[in-house]
Each structure stands twice: as structure tokens, then as C-alpha cells.
């Protein structure tokens, strides 16, 4: 009887369905997160049985003595700003183009989306070869065009390496923004566009005053997802430059990994991770609150 | 009839299962090797050991460098892991695990099997370096020297191998005047460019000061020879290394060297096989980097028995077999010119470069190790960064020395 009652209650059913997932989530997501926070206050090399409590020492080190932390923070900020500007902008332009009735539109959409499904490490390898300063595609093309003087050490020059990587990142991620914008464009009511056209609005005015406002929820989602994705940028850096030359393309996620898994200073690596977590939460929490408020307003 | 068949099947099954239960596993974790000769040598060790130990399964798990290091860390915190692991013997590498108590003291086995007498002296340099007792059995000692293209030297009017550092610089100038880059390096793998810095430190500082700097006992900021070494590094990086080099790796650097885009390459004795497999080896020569000391630049790789090994005796038997004259003769040349076993000599038909390497080893009065073997990992990472900043023209020599000193002071 007890068994029967247990399954008849909607609340019980929900609990039964959620508990296994919650258990797995706790074990593999929540606990590691808590452990990283604890580790950031400890000194541990991954071998020793003891983790020594050092208080704020790891944070003091990364803020005041770490020669790479501020470079990686600056790069992360630059990367994030670029990521919320260029992939969404190019994605929007592509979406607008591919929203028109074009021959081969479906194929073009698939082609532009294809890089999204390629593993980032494969993208990194591919682009690293294209950037080879001696035999790479870009150097060869420039040389063949008689513009060899424009060829650079794309990934070896600290002044341009970050931006060279970013081009590869845009190539891979622009399809993601494009698909979201395409979905958003489907939701723009044609009656509004027709009405604006009858009122004599130009194409730009239709876009500016009808399409763009209708796309604002999509734009917000794209920007937030782009921000989160850019803060987590790791594999493309790992695969293309490894943070070099001279750590000039390091980013917070990569530096946390390097400290923990290559230098094996898990305390400092965790402190860098916690800083990244705080920055991410500072962006995500306001978004979630805004999103919730918006949903409630709609209701 | 069916009953009898079932009975026979059951008995056969039980026999097979009991046989499997008696089979013992020996797990060896190793680095990945790219050369066919090296991979074959490791595979041959499995065959050779299983031949004399029919009830033992030897499993070689090969990983890339970073994956190997990570796997060892994970294993160190658990009850499982390898019986034997392979690692470079320096402080920040194998030495750290020795200090952490993860390596079995092999003193009883050194005595039982007479390894100290069997192995070459340079290869044993780290055996007692990091803890009481003997840790790790050397299975490879590699030297690094300058490989040069004789045709390009001739084209630049260089008649003989440089004997002094000044002669080497003069040769570099001549090569540049002939439109040939002196050296090739790959900057994406930090340790490749580091080799040049290491030998320059030996050149400008001499034995004692260089050792004091690498052991972090001397102050990099106030030691003039450290600044001088960085100054020399900059001299090479500015004009005498095939540019651009920060965006390519060591393999691309070697490809450019084969393509005669540069005359020299600072590489290890293992490179002889690769050159022989890639091009006409007769046009290449080698000479030790003229540091002015008689020490050979190089490093060792050891096989350690884990303290968590289930059967240490069996693991020691494997190490004994690997370093034996018989097996080392079988794989001679695979891991470099010089076997760790004193009794193993190169055959008469060995490659000339291998023979030249033996001369270099014989003439060496000692060894000094690569920076990434000498330093702990965090200092190594900073050492890489400083060298790369200097080589990229973003740091001057005095700042480079100051930066090293500051990092060491704040971390040690």
C-alpha cells in the first residue's frame, strides 16, 4: 500500500525521478565545485597525502606575485569583449542573409553551421597548420599574391597571436549565433514588416525599428551564451598556442589548468578557477534574474 | 552423452580459469616514443620478459608527456597504478615522486643484480640524488650536441668544426653572410629554445656557477654570468636563429633543417635514427656545443618501481632483464648511441654519427642537465617564459635575470 501511495503522489514521483540525477550531479558537479573552493585555500601538489591549509596565501600569490595571472585575466577580458561583438555580429549578418529566399539556402546554413560540430581541438590543429609561418595556407597565399611582406608569425608573435586564435574561434562559433538568430528571425511577424513597408519604411528602417526590437530576446541569449562560452575558452588555446608565446595568450581557464595539471600546484590553480567562477557568476546571476523577471512579466 | 559433454566442458573451463588466475600482470607506464626503433625496443622487452616468465603478462601503457604525468599524479593518490613507471630523472620530474615516497628504494636490487657495475657512470647520476637509497634504474642516457650540415658549412667557408664559443659565433656570422641561418629551433615547445639557454649558461658561468644557478643557490640577478648568458641568448635570437621560430615546434624546426634552411640544430643522440630515416645522413656532422667546460649536456630516463607495486621482485626482474647485456645488445641504438650497459658496444657497421657520439660520451668529463630537468616545475615554467620573452625581444637581459631571481625568491 505504501508503495502504491508513494507512486501516486505527484511530489513523490518528481522526487523519485529527480533524486538519481541529483545524486549524480552532486557527485560530479557540486562536490568538485566545493572541493575546488576548499583547495584554493590549501597547498597540495597532487602527490602528498596531506593538504596544508594556507588561508588566503594562494589568492595573495596570484594577485601579487604570479607573473601570468594578470596577463591571463586581461586576455580573458579582451577575448570576452571580442566574443560578444564579432561572432554575434557575423552570425546576425549571416542569419539575415540566409533568411532570404536563396537558392541552396538549406545547404548554406548547414555549411556555416558545420564548424560548430567539429571538436575544438580539431579546429585548433587545422588552424595551427594554416597559420604555419613557413608552409601554412595564409603565408602561401600572401606569398603567391606577391604580398609576402604581410606574412607574419601568426601564432608566434605575441602582438597578434591572441587575435589569430580569435579568428579561428569566430570561424567555429559563428554558426551557433547564426542558428539562434535564424530561429529568432522566424519569430518576427511578417504582418509588422508588411505594415512598415506600406508606411514607406526603407529596408534599413524596417530592420532598425521592426526586426531588431523583435530580436532583442534572441540577442540577449546570444550575448550571454557567447560570454559564458568565451570565459570558458580553453581547448582552442591549448591546441593552438598552449598559452604561448611566453604565456602571452594565456587565459584564466588555461592558466588554472596549467597551474593544476602541469605545474601541479592545485591550490593556486584552484584559486584561479575560483576567480573565473566569480567572474562568470557575476555575469550569469544578473542574467538569470533578468530572465526570471521577464518570464514573470510575460505571465 | 550430454552430461559427459557438459562435465568435460566444465572441467576444461575451470582449468582455463585457474590458469588465468595464476597469470600475473606486470604493468609498465611509459612515455610515448615516436621512433619506430624505440617502439619496437619496448615491444621487444615485453616479448623477452614473457618468454622467460611464461606466467606473466607485461602490459606497456604508453602516453603522451602531459597525460603520463597526470596519470602518475592520479595514481599516486589511489591504490592502483603501475608496477613500474618511466620518467625523466630530474628534480621536477622523477625526483619529485622519489621525494614524495612513491619510488621503491632499489638498493637491495642494485646489490642483488650488480646494477651499479653494469650501468654507465653518467646514467647513474640521479640514482641517489633525491632521497636515501637508490631510486630508479637508468634505461637511457641521452646527450645533446650540435648537428650541422657539412655542405652549408662549406658553402659559408667554414673549414672546421668550431672548437670554442668564439669560433661558433664566428661561424654563425659567416653563415649569415652566406644567407644561411645558423640554427633552427621551435618555440612552441618551450624546452627546445631552452636548450640554447642551458648551454649558454654553461658557457658564460662555468661549472660551479651554472650548477649554483640551476640549484637556485646563486642569485640570478646579481650573478653577472647569468646576465651575460641572457645577452648571448638575445644575440642568437635576434640574428642567428631561423626566423620566425616562436610559432613552430621542434618537428617543424627539424623539417626546415632537413630542407637546408638552417645549418645547425641542437639535438640529442636519438636524432641519428631520425636523420637516417629522413635524409642522406652522410652530409651531417656533430660536435659538442663549445661551452669551454668538458661536461656533456644531457639527461637520463629511469624506470622506477612504484611503492605500490604488487610484486616488487618481479618488477626488479623486469628491470634486470631490460638493462641486461643480452637485451641491451638486442636494442642497441634504439634510444641513442650509448647504451646504459657498459658492456654493450656499437657494432662495426653502426652509423658514423653513432660512433661520433660514442667519442663525445667518452671525452666528456661530466654532465649537466637540461633546465627543465634541473628546476622544479613552477620555476621551469617561469624559465621558459623568461627565455621566450627575451627571444621575442620583449625583455632585456638584465630584466630577464631579475625576473628569474624574483620568481625564485618568492617561490622558494
Helix (H, G, I), strand (E, B) or coil at B225: helix
| Confidence at residue B14, expressed as pLDDT on a 0 to 100 scale | 52
Any idea which of B18-22, B214-218, B243-247 has the lowest mean pLDDT? B18-22
The chain-wide mean pLDDT, for chain B, equals 90
In a shared domain, residues B235 and B380: yes
Q: Is the dihedral of CA A100, A106, A109, A111 positive or negative?
A: negative
Q: Which residue is associated with the grid cell 601579487? A: A64
Q: Measure the CA–CA gap between B222 and B202, rounded to whole angstroms.
A: 17
Q: Measure the CA–CA gap between A118 and A116, rounded to whole angstroms.
A: 6
Domains and CATH numbers, chain A: 54-124+160-298 (1.10.3720.10)
| Mutation for testing the B interface, residue in A47, A68, A260 having most B CBs under 10 Å | A47
| Confidence at residue A130, expressed as pLDDT on a 0 to 100 scale | 96
| Confidence at residue A10, expressed as pLDDT on a 0 to 100 scale | 85
**Chain A residues with CB-CB distance to B190 below 8 A:** 244
Any idea which of A5-19, B47-61, B195-209 has the lowest mean pLDDT? A5-19
Mean pLDDT of A108-119: 93
pLDDT digits (tens, 9 = 90+) for A32-61: 999 999 999 999 988 887 899 999 999 999
Mean pLDDT of A229-234: 88
- The distance of A241 to chain B (nearest Cα, Å) reads 7
In a shared domain, residues B385 and B313: no
In a shared domain, residues B54 and B133: yes
Asked if B245's CB is within 8 angstroms of A47's CB, the reply is no
Using CB atoms, pick whichever of B69, B77, B248 lies closest to residue A132. B248
Q: Does A133 touch chain B (CB under 8 A)?
A: yes
DSSP A206-258: HIIIIIHHHTHHHHHHHHHHHHHHHHT--HHHHHHTTT-STTTT--HHHHHHI
In a shared domain, residues B219 and B108: no
In a shared domain, residues B114 and B202: no
Asked if B190's CB is within 8 angstroms of A263's CB, the reply is no
pLDDT at A241 over 70: yes
**Chain B residues with CB-CB distance to A155 below 8 A:** 188, 247
In a shared domain, residues B216 and B102: no
Q: Cα torsion for A287, A289, A291, A295, to the nearest 10°?
A: 180
Using CB atoms, pick whichever of B252, B392, B403 lies closest to residue A158. B392
pLDDT at A146 over 70: yes
Q: Does A108 touch chain B (CB under 8 A)?
A: no
pLDDT digits (tens, 9 = 90+) for B244-272: 999 999 999 999 999 999 999 999 998 99
Asked if B244's CB is within 8 angstroms of A133's CB, the reply is yes
HEC per residue, B42-75: HHHHHHHHHHHCCCEEEEEEEECHHHHHHHHHHH
Stretch 338-397 of chain B: residues touching chain A, C-beta under 8 Å = 377-378, 381-382, 384-386, 388-389, 392, 394
Q: Does A158 touch chain B (CB under 8 A)?
A: yes
In a shared domain, residues B284 and B324: no
Any idea which of B14-18, B97-101, B289-293, B313-317 has the lowest mean pLDDT? B14-18
- The number of CA neighbours under 13 Å toward the Cβ of A161 is 30
Q: Which three cell numbers stand for residue B283?
A: 652530409
The chain-wide mean pLDDT, for chain A, equals 91
Q: Which of A29, A25, A68 is nearest to A265 (CA)?
A: A68
B4: pLDDT confidence band, cut at 50, 70 and 90? low
Task: Identify which has the larger pLDDT, A5 or B303.
Answer: B303
Q: Does A256 touch chain B (CB under 8 A)?
A: no
| Confidence at residue A187, expressed as pLDDT on a 0 to 100 scale | 85
Helix, strand, coil tally for chain A in percent (to 5): 75, 0, 25
Q: Find all residues with CB under 8 Å of B54, minimum gap 6, and list them.
A: none
**Chain A residues with CB-CB distance to B187 below 8 A:** 156, 244-245
Q: Which residues span the domain enclosing B277?
A: 144-297+370-411
Q: Does B409 touch chain A (CB under 8 A)?
A: no
**Chain B residues with CB-CB distance to A263 below 8 A:** 377-378, 381
In a shared domain, residues B286 and B205: yes
pLDDT at B196 over 80: yes
DSSP B203-222: HHHHHHHHHHHHTT-S-TTT
| Mutation for testing the B interface, residue in A46, A61, A265 having most B CBs under 10 Å | A46
Asked if B248's CB is within 8 angstroms of A133's CB, the reply is yes
In a shared domain, residues B172 and B307: no
pLDDT digits (tens, 9 = 90+) for B299-320: 889 999 999 898 999 999 999 9
- The distance of A231 to chain B (nearest Cα, Å) reads 23
Which among B366, B383, B401 is the end of a domain? B366
Q: Do B23 and B55 contact (CB within 8 A), yes or no?
A: yes
Stretch 17-36 of chain A: residues touching chain B, C-beta under 8 Å = none
CA distances (Å), origin B100, targets A258, A270, B44, B228: 21, 22, 32, 36
Our separate counts of H helices and E strands in chain B read 18, 9
Q: Measure the CA–CA gap between A158 and B235, rounded to whole angstroms.
A: 20
pLDDT at B34 over 80: no
Asked if B66's CB is within 8 angstroms of A261's CB, the reply is yes
Pairing mode of beta strands B262-268, B137-149: antiparallel
Q: Does A146 touch chain B (CB under 8 A)?
A: no
| Mutation for testing the B interface, residue in A54, A135, A156, A269 having most B CBs under 10 Å | A156
Our separate counts of H helices and E strands in chain A read 16, 2
Backbone angles phi, psi at B303, to 5 degrees: -105, 120
Q: Measure the CA–CA gap between A238 and A125, rounded to whole angstroms.
A: 10
Q: Model pTM?
A: 0.87
Any idea which of B9-23, B74-88, B305-319, B396-410 has the lowest mean pLDDT? B9-23
ipTM of model over 0.90: no
In a shared domain, residues B131 and B152: no
Q: Measure the CA–CA gap between B72 and B76, rounded to whole angstroms.
A: 6
A30: pLDDT confidence band, cut at 50, 70 and 90? very high
Q: Count the domains in chain B.
A: 2
CB atoms within 10 A of CB A197: 14
Q: If you measure CA to CA, which chain B residue comes closest to A46?
A: B73
| Mutation for testing the B interface, residue in A127, A134, A161, A164 having most B CBs under 10 Å | A134
In a shared domain, residues B131 and B86: yes
| Mutation for testing the B interface, residue in A159, A246, A257 having most B CBs under 10 Å | A246
Q: Find all residues with CB under 8 Å of B265, minimum gap 6, and list them.
A: B146, B147, B148, B183, B184, B253, B254, B257, B271
| Mutation for testing the B interface, residue in A245, A257, A258, A265 having most B CBs under 10 Å | A245
Using CB atoms, pick whichever of A68, A134, A264 lies closest to residue B256. A134
**Chain B residues with CB-CB distance to A61 below 8 A:** 410
CA B91 to chain centre: 13
pLDDT at A4 over 70: no
pLDDT at B20 over 50: no
pLDDT at B18 over 50: no
Q: Measure the CA–CA gap between B288 and B16, rounded to whole angstroms.
A: 57
Using CB atoms, pick whichever of A61, A155, A263 lies closest to residue B381. A263
B337: pLDDT confidence band, cut at 50, 70 and 90? confident
Any idea which of A25-39, A105-119, A220-234 has the lowest mean pLDDT? A220-234
| Confidence at residue B7, expressed as pLDDT on a 0 to 100 scale | 52
Strand partners, B147: B265, B286
Asked if A48's CB is within 8 angstroms of B73's CB, the reply is no
| Confidence at residue A2, expressed as pLDDT on a 0 to 100 scale | 52
pLDDT at B5 over 90: no
Q: Does B102 touch chain A (CB under 8 A)?
A: yes
Helix (H, G, I), strand (E, B) or coil at B134: coil
**Chain A residues with CB-CB distance to B252 below 8 A:** 132, 134
| Confidence at residue A166, expressed as pLDDT on a 0 to 100 scale | 96
pLDDT digits (tens, 9 = 90+) for B147-183: 999 999 999 999 999 999 999 999 999 999 999 999 9
| Confidence at residue A7, expressed as pLDDT on a 0 to 100 scale | 64
Helix (H, G, I), strand (E, B) or coil at A117: helix
Q: Which residue is associated with the grid cell 624506470? A: B303
Q: Which three cell numbers stand for residue B221?
A: 640577478
**Chain A residues with CB-CB distance to B389 below 8 A:** 246
In a shared domain, residues B277 and B155: yes
Q: If you measure CA to CA, which chain B residue comes closest to A66?
A: B407
Q: Measure the CA–CA gap between B378 and A264, rounded to whole angstroms.
A: 8
Helix (H, G, I), strand (E, B) or coil at A124: helix
B367: pLDDT confidence band, cut at 50, 70 and 90? confident
| Confidence at residue B15, expressed as pLDDT on a 0 to 100 scale | 47
Q: Measure the CA–CA gap between A276 and A75, rounded to whole angstroms.
A: 13
Asked if A68's CB is within 8 angstroms of B385's CB, the reply is yes
Asked if B256's CB is within 8 angstroms of A156's CB, the reply is no
- The distance of A72 to chain B (nearest Cα, Å) reads 14
Q: What is the domain-level CATH number for residue B242? A: 3.40.190.10
Q: Which three cell numbers stand for residue B37?
A: 626503433
pLDDT digits (tens, 9 = 90+) for A178-198: 999 999 998 888 898 899 999
Amino acid at each position: 500500500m505504501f508503495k502504491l501511495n508513494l507512486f501516486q503522489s505527484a511530489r513523490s514521483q518528481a522526487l523519485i525521478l529527480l533524486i538519481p540525477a541529483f545524486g549524480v550531479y552532486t557527485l560530479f558537479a557540486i562536490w568538485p565545485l566545493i572541493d575546488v573552493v576548499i583547495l584554493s585555500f590549501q597547498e597540495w601538489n597532487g602527490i602528498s597525502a596531506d593538504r596544508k591549509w594556507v588561508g588566503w596565501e594562494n589568492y595573495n600569490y596570484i594577485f601579487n606575485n604570479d607573473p601570468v595571472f594578470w596577463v591571463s585575466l586581461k586576455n580573458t577580458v579582451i577575448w570576452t569583449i571580442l566574443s560578444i561583438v564579432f561572432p554575434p555580429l557575423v552570425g546576425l549578418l549571416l542569419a539575415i542573409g540566409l533568411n532570404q529566399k536563396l537558392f541552396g539556402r538549406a545547404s548554406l546554413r548547414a555549411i556555416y553551421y558545420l564548424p560548430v560540430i567539429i571538436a575544438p581541438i580539431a579546429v585548433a590543429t587545422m588552424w595551427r597548420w594554416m597559420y604555419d609561418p613557413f608552409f601554412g595556407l595564409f603565408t602561401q597565399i600572401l606569398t603567391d599574391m606577391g604580398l609576402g611582406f604581410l606574412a607574419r608569425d601568426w601564432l608566434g608573435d605575441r602582438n597578434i597571436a591572441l587575435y589569430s586564435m580569435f579568428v579561428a574561434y569566430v570561424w567555429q562559433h559563428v554558426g551557433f549565433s547564426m542558428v539562434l538568430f535564424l530561429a529568432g528571425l522566424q519569430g518576427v511577424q511578417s504582418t509588422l514588416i508588411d505594415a512598415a513597408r506600406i508606411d514607406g519604411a526603407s529596408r534599413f528602417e524596417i530592420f532598425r525599428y521592426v526586426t531588431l526590437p523583435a530580436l532583442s530576446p534572441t540577442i540577449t541569449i546570444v550575448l550571454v551564451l557567447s560570454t559564458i562560452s568565451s570565459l570558458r575558452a580553453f581547448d582552442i588555446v591549448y591546441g593552438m598556442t598552449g598559452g604561448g608565446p611566453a604565456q602571452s595568450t594565456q587565459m584564466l581557464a588555461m592558466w588554472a589548468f596549467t597551474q593544476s595539471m602541469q605545474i601541479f600546484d592545485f591550490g593556486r590553480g584552484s584559486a584561479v578557477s575560483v576567480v573565473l567562477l566569480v567572474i562568470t557568476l557575476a555575469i550569469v546571476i544578473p542574467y538569470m534574474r533578468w530572465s526570471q523577471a521577464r518570464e514573470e512579466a510575460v505571465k | 552423452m550430454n552430461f559427459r559433454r557438459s562435465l568435460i566442458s566444465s572441467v576444461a573451463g575451470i582449468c582455463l580459469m585457474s590458469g588465468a588466475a595464476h597469470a600475473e600482470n606486470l604493468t609498465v607506464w611509459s612515455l610515448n616514443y615516436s621512433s619506430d626503433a624505440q617502439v619496437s625496443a619496448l615491444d621487444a622487452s615485453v616479448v623477452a620478459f614473457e618468454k622467460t616468465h611464461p606466467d606473466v603478462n607485461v602490459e606497456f601503457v604508453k602516453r603522451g608527456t602531459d597525460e603520463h604525468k597526470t596519470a602518475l599524479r592520479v595514481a599516486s593518490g589511489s591504490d592502483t597504478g603501475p608496477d613500474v613507471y618511466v620518467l625523466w630523472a630530474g628534480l621536477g620530474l622523477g625526483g619529485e615522486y622519489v621525494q614524495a615516497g612513491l619510488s621503491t628504494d632499489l638498493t637491495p636490487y642494485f646489490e642483488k643484480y650488480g646494477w651499479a657495475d653494469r650501468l654507465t657512470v653518467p646514467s647513474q647520476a640521479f640514482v641517489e640524488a633525491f632521497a636515501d637509497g637508490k631510486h630508479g634504474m637508468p634505461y637511457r642516457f641521452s646527450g645533446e650536441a650540435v648537428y650541422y650540415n657539412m655542405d652549408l658549412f662549406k658553402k659559408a667557408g667554414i673549414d672546421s668544426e668550431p672548437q670554442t664559443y668564439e669560433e661558433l659565433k664566428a661561424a654563425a656570422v659567416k653563415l649569415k653572410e652566406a644567407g644561411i641561418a645558423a640554427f633552427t629551433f621551435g618555440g612552441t615547445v618551450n624546452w627546445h629554445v631552452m636548450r640554447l639557454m642551458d648551454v649558454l649558461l654553461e658557457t658564460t658561468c662555468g661549472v660551479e656557477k651554472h650548477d649554483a644557478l640551476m640549484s637556485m643557490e646563486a642569485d640570478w640577478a646579481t650573478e653577472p654570468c647569468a646576465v651575460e648568458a641572457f645577452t648571448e641568448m638575445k644575440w642568437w635570437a635576434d640574428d642567428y636563429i631561423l626566423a620566425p621560430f616562436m610559432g613552430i615546434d621542434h618537428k617543424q624546426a627539424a623539417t626546415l633543417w632537413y630542407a637546408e634552411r638552417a645549418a645547425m640544430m641542437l639535438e640529442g643522440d636519438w636524432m641519428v635514427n631520425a636523420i637516417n630515416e629522413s635524409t642522406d645522413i652522410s652530409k651531417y656532422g656533430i660536435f659538442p656545443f663549445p661551452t669551454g667546460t668538458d661536461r656533456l649536456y644531457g639527461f637520463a630516463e629511469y624506470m622506477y618501481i612504484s611503492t605500490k607495486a604488487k610484486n616488487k621482485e618481479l618488477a626488479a626482474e623486469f628491470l634486470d632483464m631490460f638493462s641486461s647485456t643480452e637485451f641491451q645488445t638486442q636494442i642497441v641504438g634504439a634510444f641513442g648511441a650509448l647504451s646504459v650497459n657498459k658492456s654493450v658496444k656499437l657494432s662495426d657497421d653502426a652509423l658514423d654519427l653513432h660512433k661520433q657520439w660514442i667519442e663525445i660520451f667518452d671525452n666528456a668529463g661530466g654532465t649537466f642537465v637540461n633546465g627543465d630537468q634541473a628546476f622544479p616545475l613552477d620555476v621551469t615554467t617561469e624559465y621558459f617564459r623568461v627565455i621566450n620573452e627575451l627571444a621575442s625581444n620583449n625583455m632585456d637581459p638584465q630584466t630577464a635575470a631579475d625576473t628569474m631571481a624574483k620568481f625564485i625568491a618568492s617561490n622558494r
